[in-house]
Structure 1
Amino acid sequence: MALSLKYALVERERRFLVRSVPDGVERVSTITDRYIEGSRLRLREVRGADGDVVRKLGQKIRLGDGTAEVACTSIYLDDAEWALLSRLPGRVLHKRRHHVRRDGIDMAVDELADGTLLAEIDDGDGPPVPVPSWLDVVADVTADEAWTGAGLATRQGANS
């Protein structure tokens, strides 16, 4: 059966381990992801510095081996739906997301609990933008499943 992308947003994400958060942070949010055991589903809670909370059920499907292209779908949840789905077994990942805009480039830099910094650039529908010289890259981990959210949650052994 062919994968229909009718209701999905296609993202072209590249991920890089970096040494520091670059200048240009516009806002910071706190994210808790729960990767539901036995599925490709993720519950996400995003808390903004202003106290706003957004909760959603999402799915990301890689569109090829080692590719940066993923199909994303999301459903926004109310409190009752969140409470119900949060009872499902899953692996949890906590991170602080630094939203950076600099020189016309938007990116997210996730700060993990152990201090690791993971930058993500979404190229949208266009060709990949060059990695900016001001991003202090340690390694390109785009094709490494260990550096996806689900991979990080598994590696950290965070179950709840």
Structure 2
Amino acid sequence: MAGPLKYAVVERERRYLLASMPDGVTGTRDIVDRYVIGTRLRLREVRGPDGAVTRKLGHKVRLSDGPGEIACTTFYLDDEEWAVLAVLPARTLRKKRHTIARDGWVLAVDEHEDGALVAEIDDRDEPSDRLPDWLDVVKDVTRDEAWTGGGLAR
């Protein structure tokens, strides 16, 4: 499988449903994800606090059972490319992504339109089960398909 994934980056993320937003927010971005129906493709539009917009096409391949380990390939799109692809049928997910930097931890907390808060911890090449003690975890949803972006998209 190494050949087809030559240009992919492996993500090893853990996800946790939270009861509250932790202190230490260092930045917030608005994200709209469009999961193209019938594919493993995601169109993502990110708006930064300065109003700058970044548009990407992502392709995800699972490396194990469940959503915990995924090979991701990303292409940055210009306005014309975005316009061509944005008309494809897709399910949409809108969220605010808050970056939290505190006590040596850096993680993302996604705030969904319904108010749900989902923390993502990227383990990179060092799988771990450690959590910061200040993270108000309700439930580990790492292996729960319903809490993946594609599972939450409507």
**TM-score strictly above 0.5:** yes
Q: CA deviation at 1:45?
A: 0.2
Residue 119 (structure 1) aligned with residue 113 (structure 2): no
Q: Which amino acid aligns with 2:64?
A: G
RMSD: 1.1
| Other-structure match for 1:74 | 74
The code of the aligned residue for 2:113 comes to A
| Counterpart mapping for 1:1-160 below 5 A | 2=1, 4-66=4-66, 68-128=68-128, 130-153=130-153, 158=154
* CA 37–61 in structure 1, closer or farther in 2 if over 3 Å, else same: same
How far 1:72 sits from its partner (Å)? Answer: 0.7
CA distance in 1, matches of 2:74, 2:90: 18
Mapped contact 1:36–1:90 kept (Cα < 8 A): yes
Aligned residue type for 2:13: E
Measure how far apart 1:61 and its partner are.
1.8
* DSSP-derived class of the 1:99 partner: strand
For 2:12 and 2:103, locate their aligned partners in 1 and report how far apart those are by CA, in whole Å.
19
SS in 2 for 1:42: strand
What is the CA-CA distance between 1:5 and the residue it aligns to? 2.2
1:35-64 CA distances to partner (integer Å, 9 max, x unpaired)? 001100000000001111100000222211
- The residue identity in structure 2 corresponding to 1:74 is T
Measure the CA separation in 2 of the matches of 1:127 and 1:41: 26
Gaps of 5+ in 2: none
**Contact kept? 1:24, 1:100, Cα under 8 Å:** yes
Tell me the TM-score normalized by structure 2: 0.95
Q: Find runs of 4+ consecutive structure 1 residues off by over 2 angstroms.
A: 2-5
TM-score (norm 1): 0.92
| Structure 1 residue runs without a partner (length 5+) | none
Amino acid of the residue matched to residue 87 of structure 2? R
CA distance in 2, matches of 1:112, 1:37: 21
State percent identity of aligned pairs: 63
Q: From the superposition, tell whether residues 140 and 87 of structure 1 become closer, same or farther in structure 2 (CA, over 3 Å).
A: same
